[in-house]
Amino acid sequence: MPDNPTPEIIEPNEPNLRIRAGKVSHRRIEHFVAPLEETPLQTVDKVDETSAPLSMWNQAWRSLRTQPLFIISAFLIILVIVVAVFPSLFTSGDPRACDLNFARKGPAEGHPLGFTFLGCDIYSRLIYGTQASVLVGLFTTIGVIIIGGTFGALAGYYGGWLDAILARLTDIFFALPLILGAIIIMQLPAFRDNKSMWTVIITLTIFGWPQMARITRGSVIEAKSSDYVMASRSLGLSKFKTLVKHVVPNSLAPVIVIATISLGIFIVAEATLSFLGVGLPPSIMSWGRDISDAQISLRNNPGILMWPALALSITVLSFIMLGDAVRDALDPKSRKG
């Protein structure tokens, strides 16, 4: 047998070796390394240390002002608010002046949307009805934030028996739907005999605060375990001051989102109650009352019902769109794509 060739010892850290038929050969491989100044890495990795860091709210605003959804919804909401506050700027007609000679007639000079079955100007009633619908939604949302936000923040931060009581109360209120519970409350003698805007606001607040309380509670529980809360407590700040100064401000993001969406829901709830005849009294103009009165003309003249229903739909849709845009800006994890 031929003698086996003596194997060569290959150093483990010796690169560029080729083993072929028991022989070891060296192959030189040239490597090209681009100069650092010709690569974009410096530009990509460069951090501007001169500018102050943006807060969560500044980052949210920077994101919101570039979103068409936010711009459109904010414009519509501002328009609705201006109409509700200054209705006389948009119409010079009297919404209560009705003439049966013009009943169910179409558009005319000074009356672009026509007349109701009682001869009232649809456009004037549409403008002046904005005020009641928007005010009910706005004040109900404020009441829900105050009551639900306070209970939720206290229960989430302190826990214990306070948290247990809040949990049982919210379970009781969640057992009744908003509209059904509001109908029951509005049929009580104290509310039925004194129908007004405030009775509707109080009724909707009673059944609207539990959801806000749960949202606030969860946000506070998440925020109270943060490092800045522990640092505040270690510096001698009391629990209540820590809750007010640090925990609550850092728990407002989900509360603002839910409040924005809830405002539209409360406007719909008021319109539904007025449509059923248990909401605002006939002396107060609202979109829900006009929709209820116009249902008898649905076949012959559907435009009488269409205009207040369209105004209600656009307003509610604007608040829901605004809530979606704010949610995406404050919670990057919820952004699509």
222-264 pLDDT tens trace: 888 888 888 888 888 888 888 888 888 888 888 888 898 889 8
Which comes out higher in pLDDT, residue 241 or 58? 241
CA neighbours closer than 13 Å in the CB half-sphere of residue 40 = 1
With respect to residue 325, please indicate whether it lies within any of the assigned structural domains: yes
pTM of the model: 0.77
User: How big is the chain, counted in residues?
Assistant: 337
| pLDDT at residue 150 in the model | 92
pLDDT in tens, 208-220: 999 899 999 998 9
Q: Residue 262's closest CA among 179, 218, 202, 320?
A: 320
Q: Is 189 left (phi over 0), alpha (psi -120 to 50) or beta?
A: alpha
Q: Residue 155 falls within a domain, yes or no?
A: yes
Count CA atoms within 13 Å of residue 188 on its CB side: 10
pLDDT (0 to 100) of residue 37: 64
Of 24 and 38, the one with more pLDDT: 38
- R_g of the chain computed on alpha carbons: 33
- Domain residues for the domain of 126 are 114-334
> Which range is most confident: 52-56, 68-72, 140-144?
140-144
Which CATH number goes with the domain that contains 301?
A: 1.10.3720.10
Asked if residue 178 is part of any domain, the answer here is: yes
More confident residue, 303 or 34: 303
Residue 18: enclosing H or E segment and its boundaries? strand 17-20
CB atoms within 10 A of CB 265: 21
User: What pLDDT was estimated at residue 200?
Assistant: 92
Tell me if 244 is assigned to some domain: yes
- Does residue 209 form part of some domain? yes
Smallest CA-to-CA distance from 53 within 62, 66, 65 is with 62
Q: Rounded to whole angstroms, how far apart are CA atoms 334 and 257?
A: 12
DSSP state of 71: H
Q: What is the number of structural domains in the chain?
A: 1
Residue 191's pLDDT band (boundaries 50, 70, 90)? Answer: confident
CA-to-CA separations, 208 to 64, 195, 203, in angstroms, rounded:
27, 19, 9
Is there a domain that residue 239 lies in?
yes
Tokens read off for 76:
């519509």
Q: Is residue 205 part of a domain?
A: yes
Domain membership of residue 93 (yes or no) is no
Q: How far is CA 215 from CA 235, 331, 332, in A?
A: 29, 14, 18
